[in-house]
Amino acid sequence: AYGIPGSLGGAIYMNAGAYGGEMGEVVKEVLVFDGKESRWISRDELSFGYRESLLKKEKLIALKAVLRLKRDDPQNVQSRMIDFLRRRIEKQPLDLPSAGSVFKRPREGFYVGKAIESLGLKGYRIGGAEISRKHAGFIVNIGGAKFEDILKLIDLVRREVKRNYDVVLETEVEIWRSSKR
């Protein structure tokens, strides 16, 4: 889908997707690096799933990719791109820094943003981090947010969703902690 921020390697790594499409549908093969050597991996070996791939499971780095794209009329492509961008502008907090959608959808039909909103957490702040007022599935930096502020909001949301819906949320974003603590 047009308008997803990030790199090609990152999109393959997490099988990024939106509006009914995912990267795994168009990847033919990927040249990966495992820290020692590089090798080509075919689509069948990449084990794509919802926001998952072999790259993520084995911490591989994508160096190159061969994609199999469908031919289409340029006007149709442009029309879809404009529609995707319009939907993003309408629904997502693109005016503030964020890491994108924070949580994976735990199951079909369960919308994390709507659940967070129903709990009254939309707009809730800790330090400089806020659960977006535009889309509660995003945590935005309203100024001076610290790593700890964001983690506290993530923990709060997970706890409240578990308590109220009996649903365990996984993060879509990866959280990396420094070993120098």
Maximal C-alpha separation, the chain: 54
172 is catalytic: yes
Round to whole Å and give the CA distance between 90 and 92: 6
Helix (H, G, I), strand (E, B) or coil at 159: helix
Round to whole Å and give the CA distance between 181 and 147: 13
Round to whole Å and give the CA distance between 109 and 148: 31
- 20 φ, ψ (degrees, to nearest 5): 85, 5
68 is catalytic: no
101 is catalytic: yes
- Nearest CA-CA partner of 112 in 139, 93, 86: 139
What order do you get walking across the sheet with 27-33 strand by strand? 38-42, 27-33, 61-67
Question: Catalytic residue among 53, 101, 117, 130, which?
Answer: 101
Round to whole Å and give the CA distance between 55 and 29: 12
- The residues annotated with a catalytic role in the active site are 51, 101, 172
